[in-house]
Amino acid sequence: MPKLQVPDQDPRTPGLSLTIQADPVSVRGALKRLLSSPPLSDLAGTDRGLAEVVLAEVLNNVAEHAYGGTGGRVEVRLMKEHGLLRCLVVDEGRPMPGGQMPTGRLPGGPDLALDDLPEGGFGWHLIRSLSMDLTYARVDGKNRLSFALVATGESLGTLSPHDRSSGFGSG
Amino acid sequence: MQLQTQTRPKVISVVVMEDRIDAATAIQFKEKMRDVTRDGPARVVLDMARVQFLDSSGLGAIVAVKKLLGPDRVLELSGLTPTVEKVFRLTRMDSVFTIHPSLEVAVAQAASA
């Protein structure tokens, strides 16, 4: 049973922490729970949909690459802050190749022949296109990927670029 | 993964009856698509009006179906919801597929082609 915690916080910046098994079916279940709770449930429709895309890509990457399909735990922490949704994803799987995040360059080019059309390699492009402040670190045998997503909702102010300090500590 | 298929004189339409095509269902989607499009007209329209969520695995599966159909058949799409449309646009796969606003438009166009 996934562990769902709503930290005791200022109600204006509701946060959420969820630890799940890294496999596609658990990821789907986790997304459903995350999307139906604050802070994600507060987001406007399009932002919510795109946040789900980024989280799905990140979590499925952990399942497929960090754990190589053999399973393992992955923790997601979300926190709303100044019109942004801060996200931190931590796993204990293999580090990213070369200690770097993939560049996310789209596979192929224009006017590809049918047989050359890419069937994969879209994930990091979507993550990089839809997120901000993307940071990867390997700390104490764990992968820590943090990023921010646009989080406009009906009651939220607009994003001010000078006010985007990270809300996550190193712990 | 439920798909609703209808074969018409010039086009076969496949309506995705699920609200998502994701990493958990992409392989199943691809296999079912292969089964339902094995025979029939050259033009296939995949209607995604019910699909609220598509990730990179789902997108890869749709591209794979296009390739499975081969050079003599064509896969077109209809009814992309906003998030799905954005995924196609960001990955530039919107330039690889003909995308119709609705299944009705796609079928009408096929009938008059």
Closest chain A CA to residue B59: A119
B23 neighbourhood in chain A, CB within 8 Å:
24, 27-28, 56, 60, 63-64
Which parts of A57-157 are beta strand (E)? 73-81, 84-91, 132-139, 142-150
Closest chain B CA to residue A121: B56
Domain ranges of chain A: 15-101+121-150
Please state which of the ranges A6-10, A137-141, A151-155 shows the lowest mean pLDDT.
Answer: A6-10
Please state the CATH superfamily assignment of the domain spanning residues B3-112 in this structure. Answer: STAS domain (3.30.750.24)
Alpha-carbon gap, residue A127 to A8, rounded angstroms: 29
Predicted pLDDT of residue A159: 43
Q: Average pLDDT, whole number, for chain B?
A: 96
Domain ranges of chain B: 3-112
Alpha-carbon gap, residue A1 to A20, rounded angstroms: 8
Interface test with A, best of B27, B53, B55 (most A CBs within 10 A): B55
* pLDDT tens-digit readout, A17-63: 999 999 999 999 999 999 999 999 989 888 999 999 999 999 999 99
Would you identify the CATH topology of the domain A15-101+121-150?
Heat Shock Protein 90 (3.30.565)
Are residues A119 and B66, on separate chains, in Cβ contact within 8 Å? no
Q: What is this model's ipTM?
A: 0.94
Alpha-carbon gap, residue B102 to B106, rounded angstroms: 6
Q: Does A3 touch chain B (CB under 8 A)?
A: no
Mean pLDDT value of segment B55-63: 98
Q: What is the DSSP string of chain B?
A: --EEEEE-SSEEEEEE-SSEE-TTTHHHHHHHHHHHTSSS-SEEEEE-TT--EE-HHHHHHHHHHHHHH-TTSEEEEE---HHHHHHHHHTTGGGTS-EESSHHHHHHHHHH-
A61 neighbourhood in chain B, CB within 8 Å:
none
Mean pLDDT value of segment B59-72: 96
Closest CB to A123: pick one of B56, B61, B83.
B56
